Structure 1
Amino acid sequence: MREFVERLRARGDLMVVDKEVDPFHELAAVTHVAMKKWGKPILFTNVKGTKFPVVTNVYGSRERLAEVIGIDADDFCRQWSNLANLGQGVDAPFVKAEEEERIDVKMSDLPLITYSDRDGGAYFTSAMFIANDPDTGVGNLSYHRSMYINDEELRCRLAPRHHLTIYHEKAEAKGEYLEAAMLIGAPATSFLTAAAPLAYDADELEVAARLKGEPMPMRKCKHIDLEVPAETEIVIEGRFLPNERRPEGPFGEFMGYYVPEGPNAVFEVLGVNVRPDALFHSILCGSEEEVLTLELSVSANIFQRLSAALPGILNVTCQPFVNHAIVQIDPQFEGHARQVMLATIGAEPIWAKVITVVDADVDIYDMDDVMWATLTRCRPDKDMMIIPETPSFYRDEDKDHWGRLLVDATKPWGREDEFLRKTIRMAKDIDLADWFDTK
């Protein structure tokens, strides 16, 4: 991550704030307003109550995420799927790291950031947990919000179906602790794989090494029997207590609402170590940096599964939010779009609440263009389908996200010539500076 941040700084894409900022709500407020206006990464060098600078919005654009793994941002799904499956020819994904100085600190030495107005306390939002399956030893990377209680305790939301949750349950069944480490400022490629919907028996860190294109240096933890990427800025070592749940929350989640206080997992902190000049990575929950990663991983998953089952799949995105899947196709036969919509439900049973299918001439990253296609090519009584009483988002006890809306916004079959988009000749060749004084 540090190398990527320095690359952003060198080309003038990093905004640096030297004025003192309070991690109690003020840092989140500045981040929110600045991201809305400029969308750039931000480095706070002077954070009240801590010696550690805070960097945020590092991965908050499709272009920056694509740059991390060296692919084209507009063809993310196809190229990501190829890389994640095949890698870049790395024979051994891990190597032993050279000895590097690391400093022991306390949890309270770190930036304790309070984000939303009604949050129950300070939270760690960017930390990815690394742990091993108690039965198979396969490793896993995943994100889980963690509420600061004191130097020895965090309370973590382990959502149903997540691999770390399954590991924890397996350990609990044996009456055992589950050892885990929290990585803050981990290798940039792992930021993507930790959010990716990889198979249960896939090791996200190994995939991250393949995406990097070279072996990842690893080092042993001091307090637990795990190895972690050596270049990680901050490592929090600990273990989940078996059969113990304590109040956590409320917390302003990514959907824009507060998740109420509830009983959640307890993480016992055994030690914290940092690089001497460590950067603390913060993610504003619900920002592009959080949601975009989820959107891209869901989009790539849908693309990969649809492409294996149906012809003519060109691209997939989730806009303007992760539960709206937009699938771009080259229609091959009458009813093709309908098949695609139904197949998408099976490909993504959790997030695809609304599915819109469009033609190749529609910009799927521009919601105005997608809505234009819907409004000019879709007949609601014929081209829209509502599938009732169908579960989607897993944390939905009140069934607010049940049901599906399917929208066929492709050109009517057999009448394609009638829906040829008009173009303005020479428009792409015009340089406005030749015609107007824009100073």
Structure 2
Amino acid sequence: MTLREWIGFLKERGKLLSLKDEFSPQWEISAALRILQTKGIKKGVLFERVKGYEGYRIVGNLFLDEDFLSAKSGSEDISDWYEKRRNKPIPPVLVRSGPVKEVKINGEGLDLKKEIPALVHHEEDAGPYLTSSVIIAKDPETGKKGVGIHRVQILEGNRIRVFIANPPLSLFVKKAEELKKPLEIAIVNGLDPVTLFSSIIPLPEEDKFALAGALKGEPLPLVQAETIDVEVPAEGEIVLEGVLYPDRKEIDGPFGENTGYYFVNESYGGLIKALTRRKDPIYHVILPFSPEVENIINLAWQLEEFKKLKNDFDFVKKVKFYQTRMLAVVQIQKENQSQVSLIIEHLLDQPIIKGVIVVDEDVDVNDLNEIFWAIITRVDFEKDIFLKRKKPGCPIDPMGRGYYREKSLFYGLYPKITKIGIDATKPIDEKERFKKVDVPFSVIEKIKGVLEFERENNL
């Protein structure tokens, strides 16, 4: 399923808003998407007319729920669904051409700001940014492909800046710097939702396009780029082919990031050598610091981290991430106190994760009200709070102080921060005292049946 097919699918189901008025990429489209999100409208939004960009359409709000995983059967648990497919990759296939090659523009004289309706998202942003485009590159030593989403600042002419904080591209650019050579990159916009989602899953050493094939149930078609040695999705909407220069470190920003704050970072300067696209491209946007970005980032990490935790700790029952994967809530079957310490230590040693809350099986990790209830009623603040200092944090955490590139973590860019672990489980020797009030289970099941019957016949 391509992005266009997905848009058509949403339209058929009444889950697409088509807006006929003209909207500007500078703030107006961002404002419209944010207003609709605030109102709780979980529909994709298609902007039919984009000011200054005749022939372009823009689509957003595609990831507000899990419907984009259209291959999943309705009632199947998403973790089970992912696990069944995770280890059965379907490699991409190379094809001769595709819709993304319908229009080809040489990089000489290219004016990116005129060619692409990249959004200016926030009031103090330094300019237009790509926030939902997948970057593809190859390891300069091995030729192995790497994929990820990294923010791209559009500058004058064919110039760009790319902020690369996470693997595998953080490793690739470091190797290119050591080899004193540029890094070839392809920046792809307008991928189908499952392929884009797969690019976010934290698997720096694996082929994320093969994972996308597994989740979609069919191989992803790739086509050779025009000017660089990189293969790109043939059915995407727009491809920018270019190079990054590891020795050209430039100040990038301010830009309003996913954590809700403006950041100025050191990024890599680059040039675009060619642009290919469809004749009538649909530019896909994802708003930073939004329910949409929360949903896809948290879900991507949750699926992969749950799998790893279950392999290492069989007492883990559920995992839920919040705040762009900086906060992890873990439900366990508690049998001894050491289990809590093991989970907290394990997760806080990882980059990005800043806080860990461990709860019992009677706490729903998807319900913030229950999580706060467990914290305020089960935590002894004298002994159940754990602080871990000088740990690798999130590159866009405003509490971070300075950055360092950690070789053991693929040269990811991380600040050193203090992290917190919270034991919100029942005291091991006082389980009865902390038993949660409830109606007998047999009665709940009986009344569920009665209510379902009433709904079908009277409501």
The question of a shared fold, defined as TM-score above 0.5 by the shorter chain, is answered with yes
Letter in 2 for 1:155: R
Change (3 A) 1:339 1:73: farther
User: What's 2:93 paired with?
Assistant: 94
Equivalent in the alignment of 1:198:
203
- Whether the 8 Å CA contact 1:241–1:267 is kept in 2: the answer is yes
Q: Deviations over 1:7-55 (max 9, x none)?
A: 1111011111111111111111111111111132211111101121100
2:407 matched to which residue of 1?
Answer: none
Query: What is aligned with 1:377?
Result: 378
Q: What residue in structure 2 maps to residue 135 of structure 1?
A: 141
- 1:350 to 1:314, Cα distance in 2 relative to 1, 3 A: same
Distance in 2 between the 1:141 and 1:321 partners? 19
The separation in 2 between residues aligned to 1:179 and 1:153, in whole angstroms, is 14
1:48-59 alignment runs, 5 A limit: 48-50=51-53, 51-59=55-63
Paired residues of 2:124 and 2:254 also in contact (CA < 8 A): yes
Instruction: Give the distance between the partners of 2:228 and 2:191, measured in 1 at CA.
Output: 18
CA displacement at 1:307 relative to structure 2? 1.6
Task: Give the superposition deviation at 1:84.
Answer: 2.4
1:225 matched residue in structure 2? 229
Deviation, structure 1 residue 320: 4.8
Indicate if the aligned counterparts of 1:140 and 1:205 stay in contact, CA closer than 8 A: no
Using the alignment, how far apart are the partners of 1:73 and 1:272 within structure 2?
A: 42
Q: Post-superposition shift, 1:363?
A: 1.6
2:87 pairs with 1:47: no
Partner Cα separation in structure 2 for residue 81 and residue 331 of structure 1: 24
8 Å Cα contact 1:43/1:55 also seen in 2: yes
Aligned to 1:17: 19
1:331 aligned partner: 334
% identical equivalent positions: 27
CA RMSD of aligned residues (A): 2.7
| 2:274 aligned residue (265, 271, 276) | 271
Deviations 1:133-154 (A, max 9, x none): 1111111111111111123111
Partner Cα separation in structure 1 for residue 57 and residue 250 of structure 2 = 31
Number of equivalent positions:
427
1:433 Cα deviation (Å)? 12
Q: Secondary structure of the residue that 1:172 maps to in structure 2?
A: helix
Letter in 1 for 2:421: L
* Residue type at the aligned position of 1:244: R
Which moves more between the two structures, 303-312 or 272-281?
A: 303-312
Q: Does residue 404 of structure 1 match 2:419?
A: yes
Kindly provide the CA deviation profile for residues 371-417 of structure 1, in whole angstroms up to 9, marking residues without a partner as x: 11222222222333233443422463359872222222223324434
Contact 1:93 1:215 in 2 (8 A): yes
Worse-matched range after superposition: 231-240 or 320-329: 320-329
Residues in 2 aligned to 1:224 and 1:329: alpha-carbon distance in whole angstroms: 49
Report the 3-state secondary structure (helix = DSSP H, G, I; strand = E; otherwise coil) of the residue aligned with 1:64.
Answer: helix
Q: Counterpart of 2:438 in structure 1: which amino acid?
A: K
1:221/1:320 Cα in 2 relative to 1: closer, same or farther (>3 Å)? closer
Task: Give 3-state SS (helix, strand or coil) of 1:369's partner.
Answer: helix
Question: 2:348·2:391 contact (CA, 8 Å) conserved in 1?
Answer: no
Corresponding position: 1:243 with 2:261: no
Q: Which one of the candidate residues 283, 302, 311 is aligned to 2:286? A: 283
Is residue 187–residue 229 contact of structure 1 (8 Å, CA) maintained in 2? no
Offset at 1:239?
1.2
Distance in 1 (CA, whole Å) between partners of 2:80 and 2:388 is 29
**Deviations along 1:287-339, whole A, 9 cap, x unmatched?**
23323222123223432232222222111111255211000112233443333
Determine whether 1:213 maps to 2:228.
no
Asked if the contact 1:94/1:209 (under 8 Å) is kept, the reply is: no
Note the alpha carbon deviations across 1:85-122, whole angstroms, 9 max, x for none.
333xx3x5324255546113553222131111101111
Aligned to 1:224, what secondary structure does the other structure show?
Answer: coil
Describe the SS at the equivalent of 2:294: helix
1:5–1:393: structure 2 CA closer, same or farther, 3 Å change rule? same
8 Å contact from structure 1 (residues 13, 41) kept in 2: yes
Match of 1:423 in 2: 439
Where 2:155 maps in the other structure, the secondary structure is strand
Alignment partners' CA distance in 1, 2:184 and 2:394? 28
In structure 2, give the amino acid aligned to 1:179.
Answer: E
- What is the rounded CA distance, in whole Å, between the counterparts of 1:411 and 1:133 in structure 2? 48
Would you say 1:111 and 2:117 are equivalent positions? yes
Q: Which amino acid aligns with 1:96?
A: V
Post-superposition shift, 1:74?
8.1
Unaligned ranges ≥5, structure 1: none
2:423 partner letter: D
What amino acid does structure 2 have at the position aligned with 1:267?
A: G
Change (3 A) 1:334 1:145: closer
Counterpart position of 2:363: 362
Q: 3-state SS of the aligned residue for 2:50?
A: coil
Query: 1:27 corresponds to which letter in structure 2?
Result: I
Paired with 1:148 and 1:430, the residues of 2 have a C-alpha distance of 59
Q: 15, 26, 29: which one pairs with 2:31?
A: 29
User: Mean Cα displacement is larger for which, 207-216 or 41-50?
Assistant: 207-216
Tell me by how many angstroms 1:431 deviates.
5.2
How far apart, in 2, do the equivalents of 1:98 and 1:272 lie?
A: 15
Q: Secondary structure at the residue paired with 1:46?
A: strand
TM-fit CA distance, 1:129: 0.5
Q: TM-score, normalised by structure 2?
A: 0.85
The 1:71–1:53 alpha-carbon spacing in structure 2 relative to 1, beyond 3 Å, is same
The CA distance in 2 between the partners of 1:84 and 1:6, in whole Å, is 27
Residue 152 of structure 1 pairs with residue 158 of structure 2:
yes
Instruction: Establish whether residue 257 from structure 1 lines up as the match of residue 261 from structure 2.
Output: yes
CA distance in 1 between counterparts of 2:157 and 2:217 reads 37
**Post-superposition CA distance 1:161-185 (Å, at most 9, x none):** 5321321222232232211111101
